[in-house]
A and B are shown apart, each in its own frame.
Chain A
Amino acid sequence: MSEPVLELRSISKNFGDNQALKDVSLTVPHGSLIVLLGPAGAGKTTTLRIIAGLEAPSSGEVFIEGHDFTQHQPNQRDIAMIFDNLALYPNKNGFDNIAAPLRIAKTPKAEIHDRVMEMAKLMKISHILDRTPGTFSGGERQRVALGRAMIRQPRFYLLDEPLSSLDFMLRIDLRSELKRLQQESGRTFLFATPDYTEALALADTVCVLIEGEVRQIAKAQELYDEPVDRDVARFVGNPPINIVLARLTRENGSASLKIGSMDMKLPDHMEHSLPSNITDVEIGIRPEHIRMVGSDTAETHLTGVVNDMEPLGMHTTVGVNLGGVDLFFTVPGVQEFTDGDKVEMHVDMESILFFDPKTGRRLT
């Protein structure tokens, strides 16, 4: 295993009384694509700015290729930072826009030509190199801007929501191209986004930042199946996980969960894995772990009344009320529901996540 290209050691950052980052540690190996995932205000941009040297940490160190760079100026760090709105030179054509960083670095002319052509091919913009940005579409602009940012080969790239201002389809398109570029060239990316689906599509590893803290570093699928706490569980998955208060009752060696006015039996092995002193819990049920059953089913089930329906093409999300508690579940395809419809639902008990209602930490 090679030396990590970047290492954050217990970084904290205060802005006045506001603690923007709390003891953030993260290791970025060479050639990896790590996604920094978190809602707006979580500290993603502050983290990137500290790495780039645009902001000094209140405490902690930034190690780059094994050396402490905490006190180094931005231009000594050899890092590229890429934003959402990359401005192009409006009077230069595509070629000269992409070539600009190489010209500044006094690269020989023949080499500039070869590298620009190669980058243009990679970003699929060879056909617009002789045109000026005024004639580019939104996607072409962003491709040229990314090509210009990628033409230099710094130690690593910090990408701060680089695709968020693009149209949906373009975003999906460019996302997979960035991933391909990263994999083929072996470059190192630290990519900040608030979008879980983007993280899923891109990352080897995802670092979840919430309220200035690293909550979990894991593979994207692991965040989904095994979130460490309620906040992470809520943040990954769409439609979001249902989180509801429930009361755990134990009687004669078997346990049940009371949700709203309904009771559900808990499998024995799950009961054993929960702390014995706990009665009030928050439970997380993913919308796809609830399915509709016929009213004559022998399975234990919940009865709810439909109060919302959202057709989304591949799925329909249905909102139901069960005596004071709202839940959402998904059904495949397009299905019609009307407010007030009564539905019977089976919950896959094995998939329920339990959280401590006070701390939000996962219990099982």
Chain B
Amino acid sequence: MCQPREFEPDILETDVELLRRSKKGDQCAFEELVRRYWQKIFGFLCHGLESPQDAEDLVSETFLDAFKSRFKISDKPEAFKRWLYKVAAVKKKAYWKDKYRKPRYLPLDSVPPVCQYLDIPGTVAVIEAVLESLSEKQKNILVAYYFEDSKLKGVSQATGTSVSTACRLVKEAKERLNEVLDS
């Protein structure tokens, strides 16, 4: 909160002077810096974010960071402005990173149980027929990997090959299965 003090914020004061005063503990000086830049930072953040509400949150976070790190900001002209935009740009980047990293879970109620697919008349027969059309080796690999829940290590032991070869064989078998299903 801005306390009564001997200097009043002056619109003619430069950012450097205001920053120096805010480093000395003058809250009004920092309030004046916020007043100068909040609209600009908001506008900058609005370009490239989905909603103005997200921009509002990022603006507050940016200024909060600026206040916490005000002692690290250089006293050179334009340094405060550059630093502010830089933090806002980093926050915008992090926002998008988080958005894409968030797992998109479906609500459990909306996902049908796996056994439901097996109950569809003819599904089991189709899978059996497709497996029969594969070579014996490929069929054994797929059955071991998918139906007997064997890991790649188990498949490699069953086929007498290395793990990397087993991985390649599973991939080939899957590709063959896809070809048959597509045809």
A binds B: no
